[in-house]
Amino acid sequence: GETSKMVGLIGNKVEATDSEVVLNQQKTIKQDLYDLASVLAK
């Protein structure tokens, strides 16, 4: 098997990506989604 991989949806496909690549990418999240996640986490 493969090691040091993260799995996620890219388009409509499940893809395995090297964890170093994933952790070094900067992502932005919309404030309303962040607020929703905060409410749901309570």
Q: Which pLDDT score is estimated for 27? A: 86
Burial of 23 per CB tally in 10 Å (0-12, 13-18, 19+): exposed
User: Which residues of the chain are under the pLDDT cut of 50?
Assistant: none
27 with 20: CB under 8 angstroms?
no
Closest among 11, 7, 10 to 19, alpha carbons compared = 7
Domain ranges of the chain: 5-40
Q: Which pLDDT score is estimated for 1? A: 85
Q: Which pLDDT score is estimated for 34? A: 94
Q: Read off the pTM.
A: 0.53
Q: Which pLDDT score is estimated for 15? A: 95
Q: How far is 22 from 19, CA to CA, in rounded Å?
A: 5
